[in-house]
Amino acid sequence: MDNIVVQKYGGTSVGTPERIKNVARRVIATKEAGNKVVVVVSAMGKSTDHLVDLAREVNINPSSREMDMLLSSGEQVSIAMLAMAIGGLGHDAISLTGPQCGVKTTSYHRNARITEIQNERLLSELEAHGIVVVAGFQGMNEECDITTLGRGGSDTSAVALACALGADKCEIYTDVDGVYTTDPRKVPEAKKIDRISYDEMLELASLGAGVLHPRSVELARKNNMKLIVRSSLNENPGTEVVEVSALEKAIVSGVTMDENIVKISVLEVPDRPGIAFKLFSALAANNVFFDMIIQNVTQKNVNDITFTVKSDDLQDALAVTSKVSEELGATKVVYDEDVVKVSIVGTGIAGSADIASAFFQTLSDLGINIQMISTAEIKISCIIEKEKGEEALKALHHKFCE
Amino acid sequence: MDNIVVQKYGGTSVGTPERIKNVARRVIATKEAGNKVVVVVSAMGKSTDHLVDLAREVNINPSSREMDMLLSSGEQVSIAMLAMAIGGLGHDAISLTGPQCGVKTTSYHRNARITEIQNERLLSELEAHGIVVVAGFQGMNEECDITTLGRGGSDTSAVALACALGADKCEIYTDVDGVYTTDPRKVPEAKKIDRISYDEMLELASLGAGVLHPRSVELARKNNMKLIVRSSLNENPGTEVVEVSALEKAIVSGVTMDENIVKISVLEVPDRPGIAFKLFSALAANNVFFDMIIQNVTQKNVNDITFTVKSDDLQDALAVTSKVSEELGATKVVYDEDVVKVSIVGTGIAGSADIASAFFQTLSDLGINIQMISTAEIKISCIIEKEKGEEALKALHHKFCE
């Protein structure tokens, strides 16, 4: 059997019939180079947004199951369109929905997790047609209902299918040339990274670099699947995500800024054991993801607890936090939306005290007050005031990546 | 278990979010009257046309399988929207695609036939939720591929589901008040028919009355399923389609005009046995439906054969006819698009020579030349020139239905 290549094209890449034909040509070229190709596509352009708007007109709070039924129609359109476009160029292709290609998931609608891929049909269609076009973002639960995978779901579909098929590689096509040392729209000096480790990519993804979803990177790392991020508009080689052992030593790979965070503080919590546990388990139970916790004793037997959450989760987080803080006897809950998180990511960071001090020095030289710090094996993050974010990003990029 | 009612709403009835909410209210009212309700819906308004246009932009001759994949997304949107709208009004409902509710079909894409309905899931969801919203027009073949049922498919889905569930009745909602004695847009004197037999309805449907698809009427007749045609915009009782024995004697039920026909003639075919068989079996093999055949000897040993086909099938019919007529040694194939078929339908027709003569007399009084005649148990049809069609329709309606 030929090599198998999995390619994923996002909504922008299949946003119009013209672009779908462009994708068709790329897929055919990959096939003609001697590969069998599985193409994973998202819904066309803004069609998902359009469907969400339509739903709101009949129900402001629709059930997640029916939203999945509605939204999954979007990829069904794009897979049929792409299979037709490939057919129109004289090549054979067949489209399969998520359920048809054996993507089994949990039942958690709108945010399901893939539990298994039953690849029999996919393999036989690939053998028969050479090209199979698959609906990303969707699968089927045990009740035979259609589920969707939540944010970044199509990337995850692509990597999961690549692993299930033992593909040579998984190519994620997007509208930029690859992964950059930082956001090129904010720092023109940003450079494309040729090769990066899974761990670093995971940090960059989690910190808001936005090119790949962290779930897909994690899955690739776990299965050691070669991941390539490329542009669908040119032939540039893109960025390869590989094992760390395959890399030359690179101290700092990238610099990121996450603007979608809020800082929440619970003030004057009486100091008893298990306080943090109570608060953070309640947040977790309500699907609020927290980060960057600090707890400091301000006066005798009284703590302040500060943490960050995603901006989208602010209302949920405040509701949970207020309830718990009352139970704990805290005096007040306050929050600050006027913050950003700047981070540097790199395999070399953990082993080098110099890097941490240079990081803090750079911010200090700009007169920026560091509100919170967190460090991990391959990254350092700081919370600073929003107004200084872009200046900090540029200076850190200049210091570490230029 | 409560009574089961199957209701079908066409694309116009679910064309906008407002109209979907209107349908939701009707469905809820039916449930609150003590029924379990299965609602069969078509794709919203013009969405199918829009998808067909989209497909043409990437492939002028797309595969039928991929067209089914594309088109079936349309009903998936409308079932989710209707289930959400019912939810928004505080009632429970679940949506199911054709494949999910066990509609098994042949593999003939774009024109599949229902072979079986595996109603287990449908029954259990109906028990659990009281209202199930089902995608009309679609099913699944043995390969687990999505198929569509072709023209009138949603009516057929509704009747087939009603039969499979042992429903009390199947209500077909449309934008008119029921079945009329003739087209009210052409003849203002047209009257709504309260009750009509399956056989008459079948003739009216086949002759182009346009309210119900003949396949759905045939299926209802076979299973003796009570069929009701009503408006989705008011509470009028509509038209009941029932067994003939349930009817008062009605001589003529309706008058129809079919404008979408063409007359084709094969001239001077040498008279040998099996000529008609050759021609009409070739047409049937190419899915061209013919009607109203006449064959007359114009000179010694030479025949003219004339028949009608649907306007849509003209090109296919000419291709087949030309090929066969050459093989048969005919001199020429000619066609005439300038014709219509006017018909009267009624249970009493077969037994009454007076009706036939009144029919011909009416046309003769208008100076209309009858080009072809066909009669059956419950109808008489004539081909006449198109220009006189509307005049003939009005006169026949005046004679038999006013």
Interface test with A, best of B19, B39, B69 (most A CBs within 10 A): B69
| Residue in A165, A151, A150, A158 with CA at minimum distance from that of residue A227 | A158
Task: Decide if B70 and A51 are in contact by the 8 Å CB cutoff.
Answer: no
Q: How far apart are CA B232 and CA B77, in angstroms?
A: 20
Interface test with A, best of B21, B53, B67, B73 (most A CBs within 10 A): B73
| pLDDT higher than threshold 90 for residue A317 | yes
**Closest chain B C-alpha to A66 CA, distance in angstroms:** 5
Q: Which residues of A touch B69 (CB under 8 A)?
A: 76, 79-80, 83, 95, 97
Tokens of B149: 């049922």
| pLDDT higher than threshold 60 for residue A264 | yes
Band (pLDDT 50/70/90 cuts) for residue B268 is confident
Among A314-318, B182-186, B391-395, the range scoring the smallest mean pLDDT is B182-186
Q: How far apart are CA B297 and CA B270, in angstroms?
A: 10
Minimal Cβ distance to A84: which of B24, B62, B72: B62
Looking at chain A, which residue has its C-alpha nearest residue B135? Answer: A69
Q: Given this model, what pLDDT does residue B165 score?
A: 95
Among B143-147, B273-277, B335-339, the range scoring the smallest mean pLDDT is B273-277
The answer on whether B175 is annotated among ligand-binding residues is yes
Please report, to the nearest 10 degrees, the dihedral formed by the alpha carbons of residues A216, A221, A226, A231 taken in order. 40
Task: Decide if A58 and B81 are in contact by the 8 Å CB cutoff.
Answer: yes
Q: Given this model, what pLDDT does residue B279 score?
A: 87
Task: Decide if A95 and B121 are in contact by the 8 Å CB cutoff.
Answer: no
Among A367-371, B40-44, B389-393, the range scoring the smallest mean pLDDT is A367-371
Helices (H), strands (E): how many in chain A? 11, 20
Interface test with B, best of A23, A27, A81 (most B CBs within 10 A): A81
Q: Given this model, what pLDDT does residue A377 score?
A: 76
Residue B272 pairs with which residues in a beta bridge? none
Question: Which of B234-243, B348-357, B368-377 tops mean pLDDT?
Answer: B234-243
**Closest chain A C-alpha to B159 CA, distance in angstroms:** 24
Please say whether the beta carbons of B121 and B79 come within 8 A. no
Q: Which residues of A touch B84 (CB under 8 A)?
A: 55, 58-59, 62-63, 66-67, 70
Please say whether the beta carbons of A133 and A14 come within 8 A. no
Average pLDDT value for chain A: 90
Q: Given this model, what pLDDT does residue A210 score?
A: 67
Most distant pair of Cα atoms in chain A: their distance: 78
Q: Given this model, what pLDDT does residue B150 score?
A: 86
pLDDT per residue as tens digits for the range A205-224: 776 566 788 889 999 999 99
The string of DSSP letters for B89-110 reads: TT---EEE-TTTTTEEE-S-TT
Q: Given this model, what pLDDT does residue B246 score?
A: 55
Q: Which residues of B touch A97 (CB under 8 A)?
A: 69
The answer on whether A180 is annotated among ligand-binding residues is yes
Q: Given this model, what pLDDT does residue A214 score?
A: 85
Q: How many CA atoms lie within 13 A of A367 on its CB side?
A: 1
Q: Given this model, what pLDDT does residue A2 score?
A: 72
pLDDT per residue as tens digits for the range A47-104: 999 999 999 999 999 999 999 999 999 999 999 999 999 999 999 999 999 999 999 9
A291 vs B54 pLDDT, higher one: B54
Task: Decide if A84 and B73 are in contact by the 8 Å CB cutoff.
Answer: no
Task: Decide if A59 and B84 are in contact by the 8 Å CB cutoff.
Answer: yes
Q: Given this model, what pLDDT does residue B185 score?
A: 84
CA distances from B113 to A254, A280, B69, B139, B285 (A): 58, 57, 16, 9, 17
Q: Which residues of A touch B81 (CB under 8 A)?
A: 54-55, 58, 70
Amino acid identity of A170? C
Q: Given this model, what pLDDT does residue A351 score?
A: 67
pLDDT per residue as tens digits for the range B306-347: 899 999 899 999 999 999 999 888 889 999 999 999 999 987
Residue B168 φ then ψ, to 5°: -70, -40
Task: Decide if B83 and A94 are in contact by the 8 Å CB cutoff.
Answer: no
Which residues does A contribute to its contact with B (CB < 8 Å)?
A: 17, 20-21, 24, 51, 54-55, 57-63, 65-67, 69-70, 72-74, 76-77, 79-81, 83-85, 87-88, 94-95, 97, 100, 121, 144-145
Question: Which of A125-139, A314-328, B235-249 tops mean pLDDT?
Answer: A125-139
Strands A114-117 and A103-105: antiparallel
Tokens of A169: 């590689």
Which helix (DSSP H) or strand (DSSP E) does residue A230 occupy?
Answer: strand A227-231
> Could you tell me the residue ranges of all domains in chain A?
3-175
Amino acid identity of A244? V
Q: Which residues of B touch A144 (CB under 8 A)?
A: 100, 121
Express as a percent the part of chain B with pLDDT over 90: 62
Q: Given this model, what pLDDT does residue A374 score?
A: 83
B37 vs A179 pLDDT, higher one: B37
**Closest chain A C-alpha to B327 CA, distance in angstroms:** 34
**Closest chain B C-alpha to A401 CA, distance in angstroms:** 44
Minimal Cβ distance to B66: which of A59, A72, A80: A80
- The CATH number of domain B3-175, selected from 3.40.50.720, 3.30.450.40, 3.40.50.261, 3.40.1160.10: 3.40.1160.10
Task: Decide if B80 and A20 are in contact by the 8 Å CB cutoff.
Answer: no
The answer on whether A199 is annotated among ligand-binding residues is no
Band (pLDDT 50/70/90 cuts) for residue A249 is low
Task: Decide if A94 and B65 are in contact by the 8 Å CB cutoff.
Answer: yes
Q: Which residues of B touch A83 (CB under 8 A)?
A: 63, 66, 69
The answer on whether B235 is annotated among ligand-binding residues is no
Q: How far apart are CA A203 and CA A198, in angstroms?
A: 9
Size of interface A-B (CB pairs under 8 A): 112
Task: Decide if B58 and A20 are in contact by the 8 Å CB cutoff.
Answer: yes
Other Cβ atoms within 10 Å of B102 Cβ, number:
19
Minimal Cβ distance to A88: which of B58, B83, B144: B58
Tokens of B129: 């939720």
Minimal Cβ distance to B59: which of A55, A59, A85: A85
In sequence order, the 6+-apart residues with CB closer than 8 A to the CB of A26 are A7, A173, A232
**Closest chain B C-alpha to A142 CA, distance in angstroms:** 13
Residues in chain B, total: 402
The answer on whether A221 is annotated among ligand-binding residues is no
| pLDDT higher than threshold 80 for residue A181 | yes
Helices (H), strands (E): how many in chain B? 11, 20
Which helix (DSSP H) or strand (DSSP E) does residue A240 occupy?
Answer: strand A239-242
**Helix, strand, coil percentages for chain A (3-state, nearest 5):** 40, 30, 30
The answer on whether B10 is annotated among ligand-binding residues is yes
pLDDT per residue as tens digits for the range B16-32: 999 999 999 999 999 99
**Closest chain A C-alpha to B2 CA, distance in angstroms:** 25
Minimal Cβ distance to A73: which of B77, B94, B145: B77
| pLDDT higher than threshold 70 for residue B209 | no
ipTM greater than 0.85: no
Task: Decide if B80 and A70 are in contact by the 8 Å CB cutoff.
Answer: yes
